[in-house]
Structure 1
Amino acid sequence: MLTVDFDRLGVGTGTKVIDVGCGAGRHTFEAFRRGADVIGFDQNASDLNDVDEILQAMKQQGEVPASASAEAVKGDALDLPYPDGSFDCVIASEILEHVPEDDRAIAELVRVLKPGGHLAITVPRWLPERICWALSDSYHANEGGHIRIYRAHELRDKVVAHGLRLTHSHHAHALHSPYWWLKCAVGTENNDHPAVGAYHKLLVWDMVDQPWLTRTAESLLNPVIGKSVALYFDKPRSS
């Protein structure tokens, strides 16, 4: 389930990509499939071990172009261990809402991006997230949980302040908003609740089969209740 639109980022053979806060690796894997030289970067060693295993399996099974390379790297998003301008594309999906020093993290994302490169940032959207917070403290008030709710224009301004140019924005995953509202209402750990189980089956069906009905419904609902907002930026070339 991708939040970032890779077609907008021009990721292909030889593109140097870093997926900061890669988590389980969904965007790392997509960049690898497209032939990029990609780094899945995160602070969670357990997640990175799983990501590395999948990357190796993808290579062995011929799911990626022979020229593509990928690695999983553990580190701190506030201090990326790469020189300025190292990457053609930087992705930070659903991480900034977890980071106390988000301005510092944004500065690092911009620093390692090449002039002329593309930055994609996604965060939970304000309205769906606000409802989740209102329904459940356990949804966000936990170690490593969400510490802020962004309005899209606030996040845009934080990035533009570093000299980047906003090129596009969109919303995603509208079908997931009611699911999380339901979980927050019945208890975020209550996965055995019949309604939660039924809705989860719907989401799995949607992700696996991508039926016309749910794809059309989500497309229509994304502008209204999309769970995430994605912002795309370009870094100006040096004059």
Structure 2
Amino acid sequence: MRISADKDRCIGAGHCVRAAPDLFDSGADGRVTVLRPEPDPARAGLVREVVGLCPNTAISLSGGPDEPSDESGGNLMTVKNDDVAGFYNGTDKFSTAGRIDALWGQNLHFGYWEDDSDDSPIEVATDRLTDLMISGLDPQPGQRVLDIGCGNGNPAMRLVRSRDVRVVGITISELQVEQGQARAAEAGLADRAEFRYADAMDIPFPDGSFDAAWALESMLHMPDRGQVLAETARVLRPGGRLAIADVVERGPVSPEGKVVMDHIRETYKIHSLGTVEEYREQLAAHGFVDVEIRDISDNVLRTGIKLADAVDASRDQFLEHASAAEVDTLTHFMRQAAVTPENGYLFITAKRR
């Protein structure tokens, strides 16, 4: 990857210097100077962010790291279980457990707004998305439900209360297991909601041991969605229902859109983003039928703006862990994600054959 800059197009905003002072400098006229045209490949993500921040696209890249591509044309991230666990355990700089969940509420997922006039607060909007998952899954009283990537346990608790089912949540975050167990005990529902440390790529339960399963914004962390769907099909009984809510990539992907999508993948420890076509193929390949896929992007992407506003309101708290430039980059891309056409969101229901 080689960086170049066009002084004639530079308006001297200084975003690049603040974000990466070891790569860029500004002269007396405020125009950018590239200090290191060949940055460390490990910093490729940061460089792409800087390019995305450049107001007049005065900075450009040529060449690139040897990165594998996914089917949608985007880059696969090298994300390990420890990276994802660290994000949710609170050891990552911008992790939910460390900072964002304190200002976001009990649900660590997107909100759902009915239309542009809907001004529901985030607590209501996130519960509404959980309720959409519940209605799509439609479990019957007494059934056993698998929560794949259960988060902090709050959606599972809402499911247990509303449908009188038993839920088993699995996660690779030790902290989330503790959070889920604590929530269940506090609510007096420990006999109907349990949380275990387990990998969705290798679900530790017998064949046909669940009546239904859901994955609420967890599939994007999976190294192999097909393997997770295969394991889910294995542990579901015939006729068992599945519901998925997931961030996806919508094509065609523009250069500007790729910058935003790459930032989403890097910041939130996402291995890759799926597509509508991939989900249709993978669900069919693993024995799921009656597949319904709804694009609800317009109802949920306001979440990025709401979250950026929340970070701005607690800026001093974030500055204890990150530089001002890093916080600015984070909120900039949160807002960009809300208006980037390539950034999509699907709600999926299906049934095991």
TM superposition score normalised by structure 1: 0.70
Q: 1:174 aligns with which of 298, 317, 329?
A: 298
Q: 2:225 aligns with which of 95, 102, 110?
A: 102
- Which shows bigger deviation, 170-179 or 15-24? 170-179
Q: 1:153 aligns with which of 277, 282, 290?
A: 277
Instruction: Give 1:8's aligned amino acid.
Output: G
Instruction: Give 1:169's aligned amino acid.
Output: I
Q: Relative CO higher for 1 or 2, CA cutoff 8 Å, sep ≥ 6?
A: 1
| Rg larger in structure | 2
- Residues 174-229 of structure 1 show CA distances to partners (whole Å, capped at 9, x for unaligned) of 3542453795xx977449979x8xx9xxxxxxxxxxxxxxxxxxxxxxxx999520
Instruction: Give 2:218's aligned amino acid.
Output: I
The equivalent of 1:233 in structure 2 is 350
The equivalent of 2:265 in structure 1 is 140
- Is residue 151–residue 171 contact of structure 2 (8 Å, CA) maintained in 1? yes
Structure 2 residue matching 1:125: 3-state secondary structure: strand
TM-fit CA distance, 1:105:
1.4
- Residues 1-35 of structure 1 show CA distances to partners (whole Å, capped at 9, x for unaligned) of 23543223222420110101011224312221121
Structure 1 residue matching 2:265: 3-state secondary structure: coil
Structure 2 residue matching 1:174: 3-state secondary structure: helix
Q: Aligned in 2, Cα 1:70/1:97: closer, same or farther, shift over 3 Å?
A: same
The equivalent of 2:287 in structure 1 is 163
Structure 2 gaps of 5+ residues are 1-125, 313-324, 336-340
- Is residue 249–residue 342 contact of structure 2 (8 Å, CA) maintained in 1? no
TM-fit CA distance, 1:171:
3.3
TM-fit CA distance, 1:162:
1.3
Q: 2:195 aligns with which of 42, 65, 72?
A: 72
Q: 2:188 aligns with which of 59, 62, 77?
A: 59
Q: Distance in 2 between matches of 1:161 and 1:179?
A: 32
- Is residue 241–residue 351 contact of structure 2 (8 Å, CA) maintained in 1? yes
Q: Aligned in 2, Cα 1:188/1:152: closer, same or farther, shift over 3 Å?
A: farther
1:212-223 pair list within 5 angstroms: none
Structure 1 gaps of 5+ residues are 200-223
- Residues 124-148 of structure 1 show CA distances to partners (whole Å, capped at 9, x for unaligned) of 13249x6775237443225x61222
Instruction: Give 2:283's aligned amino acid.
Output: V
The equivalent of 2:157 in structure 1 is 29
Instruction: Give 2:304's aligned amino acid.
Output: W
Instruction: Give 1:229's aligned amino acid.
Output: L
Structure 2 residue matching 1:141: 3-state secondary structure: helix
1:91 and 2:91 are equivalent in the alignment: no
- Residues 44-102 of structure 1 show CA distances to partners (whole Å, capped at 9, x for unaligned) of 01012111111122227xxx9xxx61101111111111100111101112222211122
Q: Distance in 1 between matches of 2:266 and 2:343?
A: 22
How many pairs were matched up? 201
- Residues 99-126 of structure 1 show CA distances to partners (whole Å, capped at 9, x for unaligned) of 1122211111111011011011221132
RMSD over aligned CA atoms reads: 3.5
TM superposition score normalised by structure 2: 0.49
Instruction: Give 1:81's aligned amino acid.
Output: P
Structure 2 residue matching 1:81: 3-state secondary structure: coil
1:202-217 pair list within 5 angstroms: none
The equivalent of 2:179 in structure 1 is 50
Same amino acid, percent of matched pairs: 24
Q: Distance in 1 between matches of 2:261 and 2:351?
A: 37
- Is residue 167–residue 192 contact of structure 2 (8 Å, CA) maintained in 1? yes
Q: Aligned in 2, Cα 1:93/1:188: closer, same or farther, shift over 3 Å?
A: farther
Q: Aligned in 2, Cα 1:127/1:136: closer, same or farther, shift over 3 Å?
A: closer
